[in-house]
Amino acid sequence: MNSEIQTFIFFSELLGRTVPDESGRSLGRLVDVAVVLDEFFPNVERVVLKSRWKKGYWELDWKHILHLDGHTLVAKPEAAQQLRPLSANPAQVLLHDEVLDKQVVDTFGSKIERANDLHFLINKGELRLVHVDVGFRGILRRLGWTKIADGVTQWLFSYLLPDRMVSWKYIQPLASDPEKKRLKLNVAARGLKDLNPADLADIIEELDRKKREHVFHTLDVEIQADTMEELKPEFQKYIIETLSGEQASDVIEKMEPDEATDLLQDLPKETRKEIIEKVEPETRQELKELLTFKEGTAGSLMTSRYLSIGLEATVQAAMENFRAHHKGVASNYYTYVVDAEEKLLGVFSLRDLLIHPPEARIADVMNKHPKKVKLKDSSKKVGQLFIKYNFLAVPVVDKKNILSGIVTLKDALEAVLPEVAKQ
């Protein structure tokens, strides 16, 4: 190949092309290429051919390729004698079989995409994989409809569908099945921190056990905690048991108390005790209290992280309280008004703060008769309250009307509403 020329080509432009030798004799049609994933932009190491004259698939090392003529690879004169039956090579990945049309997790869009085409750089006699095309244009290109689509969109809208590329250097294989029929791709672990925890949880749940553990361990503890809350219980239990006591306690401490309590209840008694004893004293006491509530009650569903303020405060003071503490609570739309003994006196919403002047007294703004549930009330009753009033959170009080926590809409959807729906 001309060592001075640098150009790009799509995989779809190579697939199905006849590969002749220098004399023009056909060696077969190109159906796949193999790379070794040891570089940011891996080289093609061999090509896979389907011959009209020979049964099965045949492979040819890249060193026997002479040059690329347009969209056709041309082999060296001795290439026909170097063809051999396709064999498995664990160190290499077949791009058509294991990557094309498989899923790619695009952290920049925080969603799962599909590898619709692959993009290569032709440089100094090498063919290097540089991008994955995850856009609709990649599908059109493979169908041979690019020119038609471009003509239509240009004529109707003066617009061309853009290519959507993800650089291969951001991508690494995360899971493949034993037969290597499916390869899961993901933006490299250094980019995982940018994913929404719910999306990250979906990814982790799809990985095999080893890679699931590895990916989770690469995350910061705050992201681990947020992701743990989104995992299904069986995955939570598995991952927490792969952590040391210190690591597990750090994750538990960063989780919402109600979510942490649900997880702890699923663990063996000794494991639960070890973790609880390693968390900070304040959190430890909070978790121990929550663990005393019977499953299926408001107490077992609640979190003790909420916004509260005294009766004598003004709207301005409430706004300052919101700015200072809204990130550390489970639901920041409501602020609960309590007295010196933490008895529930009222509630107001963020909307209430926005529509009243700063000097207004909270006592005049709040709802003086908030709907509430008691610690031992059933989850059915909690669910009915959400359904009837469309609340985002419901306060939970004890027998003396002392505010103990809140049940959020998220927890209601996960644990309460399915039960109510069966009634």
pLDDT digits (tens, 9 = 90+) for 289-329: 899 998 889 998 899 889 999 999 999 999 999 999 988 78
Residue 400 clears pLDDT 50, i.e. is over it? yes
What's the pLDDT at 255? 92
- For residues 13 and 355, give the distance between their C-alpha atoms in angstroms, rounded to a whole number: 61
User: Which residue do the tokens 């690019």 mark?
Assistant: 146
In whole angstroms, what is the distance from residue 367 CA to residue 387 CA? 19
pLDDT at residue 110, as a whole number: 45
Nearest alpha-carbon partner for 350 in 337, 338, 332, 368: 332
Architecture in CATH for domain 307-421: Roll (3.10)
Question: What pLDDT band is residue 105 in, cutting at 50, 70 and 90?
Answer: low
Q: What is the pLDDT of residue 157?
A: 63
pLDDT in tens, 131-171: 888 888 888 888 888 788 777 767 666 667 777 887 787 66
Average pLDDT, the chain: 84
What pLDDT score was predicted for residue 216? 87
Select from 97, 114, 1 the least CA-distant residue to 50.
Answer: 97
pLDDT for the residue 282? 86
**Of the listed ranges 105-119, 194-208, 345-359, the one predicted with least confidence:** 105-119
Nearest to 195 by CA among 220, 175, 163, 169: 220
- Domain 197-292 indexed as CATH 3.30.70.330: no
pLDDT bracket for residue 352 (50, 70, 90): very high
Structure tokens belonging to residue 363: 């006592």
So what's the pLDDT on residue 419? 41
Pairing state between β 103-106 and 183-187: parallel
Do residues 306 and 336 lie in contact, with contact meaning Cβ atoms separated by under 8 Å? yes
From CA 211, how far away is CA 188, in angstroms rounded?
12
396: which strand partners?
A: 373, 405
Using 50, 70 and 90 to split pLDDT, how confident is the model at 182? very low
Choose between 385 and 112: higher pLDDT: 385
Q: Strands, DSSP E only, in 177-278?
A: 183-187
- Identify the helix (H) or strand (E) that includes residue 117: strand 117-123
Around Cβ 360, how many Cβ atoms within 10 Å?
16
Flag whether pLDDT at 401 surpasses 90: yes
> Positive or negative CA dihedral for 366, 367, 369, 372?
negative
| pLDDT range class, residue 423, cuts 50, 70, 90 | very low
Overall average pLDDT of the 357-383 stretch: 94
Classify domain 1-187 at the CATH topology level.
SH3 type barrels. (2.30.30)
Cβ-Cβ contacts under 8 Å for 100 (sequence gap 6 or more): 11, 115, 116, 117, 118
Residue 3 has pLDDT above 70, yes or no: no
**Please, what is the Cα angle at 334 between 329 and 416, to 5 degrees?**
75
More confident residue, 279 or 175: 279
What pLDDT does residue 298 have? 92
What is the phi/psi pair of residue 119, to 5°?
-120, 125
Residue linked to tokens 């590895």: 214
User: What is the Cα–Cα distance from 126 to 271, expressed in whole angstroms?
Assistant: 54
**pLDDT tens-place string over residues 23-76:** 999 999 999 999 987 777 889 999 999 988 888 899 999 999 998 877 889 999
Domain boundaries, the chain: 1-187, 197-292, 307-421
Check whether 195 has a pLDDT greater than 80: no
- Assign 185 a pLDDT band (cuts: 50, 70, 90): low
Question: Which residues, at least 6 apart from 190, have a Cβ–Cβ distance to it below 8 Å?
Answer: none
Residue 208 pLDDT greater than 80, yes or no:
no
